[in-house]
């Protein structure tokens, strides 16, 4: 199994949008977080995010087939980065693709000293995934609605 990242251009935005909606629609249905769910993002919002000089979007490929995506963001300071979205399509989950993709992302940014992200507290598999990768929970919980709470994680990069 060969996993790799393919950096996107604006021309890839429609495909990204379709895949992002497919990946996040079950969470949107479950948590009804229409204001912040990636499944609610319009194509125009995605294009605007892709134009930002401090963001990168990547398709996650398994043996050349698109299996998901990763969105990174350079945060304040020269060495602080964030994962502002990672998804693996349901039919490709539980194959180790996400873990390999996370390692590939980290390798693309050798100057990163910290990685930060938010995830849904109620999604135990996501919590387990990030903690297995060495992320530590920090900060306060952010209650989005009666169904969903976001929690923040940080990981110190090993250089």
pLDDT digits (tens, 9 = 90+) for 77-89: 778 999 988 999 9
Q: Give the residue from 27, 120, 154, 12 showing the smallest Cα distance to 69.
A: 12
pLDDT bracket for residue 76 (50, 70, 90): confident
pLDDT of residue 75: 87
**Could you tell me the pTM of the whole model?**
0.92
pLDDT of residue 20: 95
pLDDT of residue 85: 87
Q: What is the mean pLDDT of the chain?
A: 94
Order of strands, sheet of 80-88, starting from the edge strand that comes earlier in the sequence: 3-7, 55-62, 65-74, 80-88, 114-120, 148-156, 136-145
Our CA angle for 84, 159, 141, nearest 5°, is: 35
pLDDT of residue 159: 58
- Is the separation of the CB atoms in 57 and 69 below 8 Å? yes
Q: Which conformational region is residue 54 in: left (phi greater than 0), alpha (psi within -120 to 50 degrees), or beta?
A: alpha
pLDDT of residue 25: 95
Q: Quick one: 23 exposed, middle or buried, by C-beta within 10 A (0-12, 13-18, 19+)?
A: buried
């Amino acid at each position: 199994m060969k996993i790799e990242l393919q950096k996107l251009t604006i021309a890839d935005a429609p495909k990204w949008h379709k895949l992002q909606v497919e990946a996040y629609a079950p969470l949107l249905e479950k948590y009804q977080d229409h204001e912040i769910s990636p499944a609610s993002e319009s194509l125009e919002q995605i294009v605007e995010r892709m134009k930002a000089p401090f963001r990168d979007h990547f398709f996650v490929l398994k043996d050349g087939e698109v299996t998901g995506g990763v969105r990174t963001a350079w945060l304040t300071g020269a060495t602080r980065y964030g994962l502002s979205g990672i998804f693996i399509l349901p039919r490709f989950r539980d194959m180790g693709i996400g873990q390999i993709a996370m390692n590939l992302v980290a390798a693309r940014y050798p100057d990163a000293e910290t990685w930060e992200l938010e995830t849904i507290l109620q999604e135990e598999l996501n919590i387990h995934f990030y903690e297995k990768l060495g992320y530590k929970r920090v900060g306060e919980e952010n209650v989005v609605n009666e169904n969903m709470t976001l929690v923040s994680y940080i990981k110190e990069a090993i250089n």
